[in-house]
Each structure stands twice: as structure tokens, then as C-alpha cells.
Structure 1
Amino acid sequence: MINVNMSRWLSNALTIFSILFIFYMTILPHSELGIGVSKGFINLNPFLIFNQGLTYSSLVVNDFGNILLFVPFGFFLSIRFPQLKLSRVVLFGCLLSITIECIQLFMANRCTDIDDVILNTLGAFVGYLVWVGVRWQMNRE
């Protein structure tokens, strides 16, 4: 059995690591993924990507990538603060995403996109649901 202090330390570390990883992926360029290498833009039209046609790159890197990026954040935040309700985890995911998009406004090769906020928030939501599933499974045993 893991002692309570070790468990708290680990949940803090994993939550902080998930936030740092999000900043690493969203602020620094990653040419191998095509992130941060072209001229930046601002998109305030929700779901514009669907109107432009889906490509493998936009679907995998942009859409699924933005969702997957925030799943650990929603999951580890829920572990660290088990009293948080779904609405709070989603709110914190949304606020973190908005913060990143605001920072990207001032970066020449980064895109500020409302779709990123929507998809990142969805990722935090999925992370919360994964935590609920894991907690339910652990309580069954």
C-alpha cells in the first residue's frame, strides 16, 4: 500500500508534469509534427477545420493531438483533487487552454485557434471520465 504522503507527492508531480508537457508542446516549435514552423494566424470561427476539409495531418496532429494533450491533465487533476466535480475540471482545462492561446497571440509562428480551446477542453473532460472509470473499477475490486 502506498502511504498517503507518497501518494500526494506523486499526484502533485504528475499534475505539474502534465501542465509542463502541455506548455512544452504548445509553446515550443516541433517541426517533426509541423507545429510552430509556419506563419501564425488567429481563428475565432469554431470548427473551421471541418469546413476546410480534413486531412490526415489536421485530424491526427491537430484534432486528436489537442484532445490527447489534455487527457492527462484532466485525469491527474482529478486524482490530485478528488473532490472536484466534472464542471470544475472542464473549467480548469478550458482556462489553461485559453491561457496558452493568449500566449500564442504574441508568438509569430503560433496559431491562436478557438478549435484548440474546444478540443483541449474536451481532452480535460475525457481525462475526468477516465478517472471516474478507474475509480469505479478500483471500488469494484
Structure 2
Amino acid sequence: MTGTSGKKLALLLSIVPILYFTIFPHATLGIGVREGGVKVHAFTSIQFELSKGFFINTVGNVVLFVPFGFFLSILNRDFLKTAAIGALFSIMIEIIQLWLPNRWTDIDDVILNTLGTIIGYLFASFYLLNLKSFINRI
């Protein structure tokens, strides 16, 4: 598998862990084990978690979307389009979580997920010249 089909497969595979961690509960990580709700005030969750030393959710939301942003940017080199797709994908997940028991819909997740997409884009852009021959073989 080479060219565009391999890149599309890599993008689809980067979505699997995103859906796994955002849709299904994970008791060992404390995700989806308590009553859920909606948080609409930007940066409230981020400030609370960082002040208490809870980095898993904050860093996890960013890291989870880095591969997605990386592979998306390989298929689409437009920065604004890549960031917008990352934000819209995150918003879609948050809307789904509205109807899932024990899940939180949080504007901070959208911010962090979009940041992860942007970091993935920047990482791909920075290394694209060195990785171009490798990626074309995927």
C-alpha cells in the first residue's frame, strides 16, 4: 500500500485511540467512572487540573490528537483547514458525550484536542522533508 491510500489508512488508524479513550469508560484512568456533565467555561478544567498536579487529562487530550494532526496534515497541507477539522472532530466527540452516561462534555477538551491537532501539523511540517520518502512508502 503506497501513496494516498496508505496515508488515509494511517489517518484512520490515528482515530482509533481517540474514539477508544473518548467514548468508552476506563476505570484505571478514572475516565467515565463518575457521573458526567457539561463544562462550558473555557480553561476552568485546565486550571484546576494543573493546580492540583493532575496532568493525565490535560496532557492526554493534547497527545491523543497529535497523530491525528500529523497524518491529517500530510493529506492536507493547509494549516487552517487542518486546525478546523481537528476542532470539528473534537466538537463531534463532545456532542456524542452529551448522551453517554458518566462522560463529561468540556470546552477545554475541544481546546486541548485542537492544540494536539496543531502540534501534529507543526511536527509533520517540520519533519516533512526528512520523512517524505518514508511516508510515501506507507
Same fold (TM over 0.5): yes
Aligned partner (choices 81, 85, 88) of residue 81 of structure 2: 88
Over 3 Å counting, the alpha-carbon distance change for 1:53 and 1:85 in structure 2 is closer
Residues 107-128 of structure 1, C-alpha deviations (whole Å, 9 max, x = no match):
1100000000000000000000
Q: Matched residues in 2 for 1:129 and 1:8: separation?
A: 20
Unmatched runs of 5 consecutive residues or more in structure 1: none
- Percent of residue pairs identical: 42
Aligned twin of 1:135 = 128
Q: Matched residues in 2 for 1:53 and 1:72: separation?
A: 24
Residues 21-52 of structure 1, C-alpha deviations (whole Å, 9 max, x = no match):
21111001111111111110110001112157
Aligned partners of 2:18 and 2:65 also within 8 Å:
yes
Over 3 Å counting, the alpha-carbon distance change for 1:52 and 1:68 in structure 2 is closer
Q: What is the RMSD of the two structures over their aligned residues, measured on CA atoms? A: 1.7
Q: Shift of the alpha carbon at 1:79? A: 1.4
Over 3 Å counting, the alpha-carbon distance change for 1:62 and 1:52 in structure 2 is closer
Letter in 2 for 1:129: L
Aligned twin of 1:79 = 74
Over 3 Å counting, the alpha-carbon distance change for 1:54 and 1:133 in structure 2 is same
TM-score (norm 1): 0.85
* Count of paired positions: 131
1:25-36 counterparts in 2 under 5 A? 25-36=21-32
Residues 77-124 of structure 1, C-alpha deviations (whole Å, 9 max, x = no match):
11123xx31111000000000000000001110000000000000000
Structure 1 runs of 4+ off > 2 angstroms? 51-56, 136-139
Partner SS, residue 13 of structure 2: helix
Aligned twin of 1:7 = 3
Q: Matched residues in 2 for 1:10 and 1:123: separation?
A: 22
Larger RCO (CA within 8 A; separation ≥ 6): 2
Aligned twin of 2:60 = 65
TM-score (norm 2): 0.87
